[in-house]
Structure 1
Amino acid sequence: MRMLIRAEGMKLQWSVILALIILDTLINSAMGAMQLQSLRDFFPPSWTTLYIHSVNLHSMFFFPLYSGIVASLLCLYEHRDGGWKITMSMPIPRSRIFYAKYIVLIGILALVQLVFLLGYVATGFLVDAPGEIPWKTLLYSVIGGWIGVFPLAALQLIVSIRVRSFGASLAMSLGYVVPNIVLTGFHSAIGAWLPFTIPYYVMMPQAAIYAPRVEPYSLWSIVLLTGIVYLLFGKRFIEKRDWL
């Protein structure tokens, strides 16, 4: 399994992935800093306010979108010149190939969250945000958002394996994410069944005026259930499909 994970990592276009991660951090940190100043009459400046401004677009748009982009990049090599036939002919269980890609995917998404957090902290010191850093909120939001994206990562990996065209796979990822503007307005007990909304439900602090209505027990139950379902479906899909 370790060799498969290493092989998946070697096939990735790391320059593209790192550029996307840095772009996400720069955009959201800049937006947080600008809104901290421009909206100071409505939202008193603080570390928490800065985080609310910074995490809004990250959790609603960039983070779930990057899940789809990285999943597509993980399957790009196999979609070229009959790569799936070669991969599936190896003397290893097909399910391990799926799980190796999935582990690499969620590992990269963990890196996205870490860099976003570092960018937020650096921005807070640069703008001299008042008060104390809300570490408890940050750790729950960043780690919880990463765990909350697990079902979406599994679903988008299945789609990326199924769809040969990178452009089509990317368009589908965009199609999932754009409706978040509306769908995240529903209560989490309803909206969380759509996995691309979960990062926003988890990461947006409830202290925010425009925070979604979240019931933690039902939210995490949905995350667990859908995560298991998508992983099992992905395992069955890759095992049963005729790759020849």
Structure 2
Amino acid sequence: MRTEFLKLRRSLVWPVVLGLPWLPGVLNLLIFQAPERRTAEWADVLRNGPSTWFLLLMPLVMSLLVAQVTTLEHSSGGWRLLFSAPQPRSRVVWRKIGVLLTLSLLMTALMLAGVAAGAWLLSGTLTGMPDWGTFLGRGLVGWAASLALLLITLVAALCFPSFLAPLGLGMAATVVTFVVINSEWGRWWPWALPTLTSVQPVQESVPLLAYGLGLSLLAALAALWEVARRDA
């Protein structure tokens, strides 16, 4: 995977990964410092930040990451070079998946750190007590539920050699999420799963998480099949 990270060293990936996850914490500061929100509770602040990330920002950032990781191979004949090497094609796919999972986990950790830092700055105006265990648990569950949309986007990027394919899918899917998230259909929509699991008690999110991980496995198998069947 070291080689995969070296390919990204001069790309837009690192500013996005290291910068955007702090935005929910900044938005919390702007929202909860408003005069009408001065009586907010710790639970509100610690819930709002991850919800903003998982619902609005993360799907678009994930799409950008997938587009960047795959476009490097699409545009320079990289796939042909990788597939001609004496290694199983599946290893190429697993390395790409490993890079994407590592970057997405790093962004989740930075997002949680940013939200926690913003909440600490607001602590003088917040009521109640912070439940850090629940906060971290919901954040990690939301990350695990996001693997489905990440891998589905990867499959789309492998099938359609265009930078716009994963970005278009991410934007369209985010719009659909706003429509279905409060309906029964939201439980089945992969892009809604991170938000739904991150606002529920961890124990109640287990069925949704299991469903999301099942979709992740199917998407990973689809990515392996797509790479195995192609000529280059």
Please report the TM-score for the alignment, with normalisation by the length of structure 2: 0.88
Residues 133 and 21 of structure 1, relative CA distance in 2, 3 Å threshold: farther
User: CA-to-partner distance for each residue in 1:76-124, whole Å, 9 max, x for gaps?
Assistant: 2111132211111111111111111001101100011110111111111
Measured on the aligned residues, the alpha-carbon RMSD in Å equals 2.2
- Report the residue type matching 1:37 in the other structure: Q
Residue aligning to 2:95 = 100
Q: Are 2:170 and 1:176 equivalent residues in the alignment?
A: no
Structure with more of its chain in helix, by fraction: 2
Residues in 2 aligned to 1:80 and 1:222: alpha-carbon distance in whole angstroms: 35
Residues 22 and 132 of structure 1, relative CA distance in 2, 3 Å threshold: farther
Please report the TM-score for the alignment, with normalisation by the length of structure 1: 0.84
Point out where structure 1 has 5 or more consecutive residues left out of the alignment: 207-213
Q: Are 2:223 and 1:234 equivalent residues in the alignment?
A: yes
- Report the residue type matching 1:122 in the other structure: A
Residue aligning to 2:108 = 113
Of 10, 33, 36, the residue aligned with 2:32 is: 36
Residues 185 and 161 of structure 1, relative CA distance in 2, 3 Å threshold: same
Count of aligned residue pairs for this structure pair:
229
Residues 168 and 225 of structure 1, relative CA distance in 2, 3 Å threshold: closer
Point out where structure 2 has 5 or more consecutive residues left out of the alignment: none
Cα pair 1:154 1:227 within 8 Å, conserved: yes
Aligned-residue offset at 1:23: 4.2
- Report the residue type matching 1:45 in the other structure: A
SS where residue 6 of structure 2 aligns?
helix
Residues in 1 aligned to 2:35 and 2:214: alpha-carbon distance in whole angstroms: 39
Structure of higher RCO (CA pairs closer than 8 Å, 6+ residues apart): 2
The 10-residue stretch of structure 1 (228-237 or 30-39) with the greater mean CA deviation from structure 2: 30-39
- Report the residue type matching 1:161 in the other structure: L
Of 131, 135, 144, the residue aligned with 1:134 is: 131
Of 4, 8, 24, the residue aligned with 1:12 is: 8
Residues in 2 aligned to 1:90 and 1:37: alpha-carbon distance in whole angstroms: 56
**Identical pairs, percent:** 23
Aligned-residue offset at 1:178: 1.9
SS where residue 220 of structure 1 aligns?
helix
Aligned-residue offset at 1:10: 1.0
User: CA-to-partner distance for each residue in 1:133-189, whole Å, 9 max, x for gaps?
Assistant: 2112212211111111111111111111222221333122211112211121123xx
Residues in 2 aligned to 1:20 and 1:217: alpha-carbon distance in whole angstroms: 30
Aligned-residue offset at 1:44: 3.9
- Report the residue type matching 2:41 in the other structure: S
Cα pair 2:8 2:69 within 8 Å, conserved: yes
Residue aligning to 1:152 = 149
Aligned-residue offset at 1:75: 0.9
Residue aligning to 1:222 = 211
- Report the residue type matching 1:18 in the other structure: W
Cα pair 1:61 1:178 within 8 Å, conserved: no
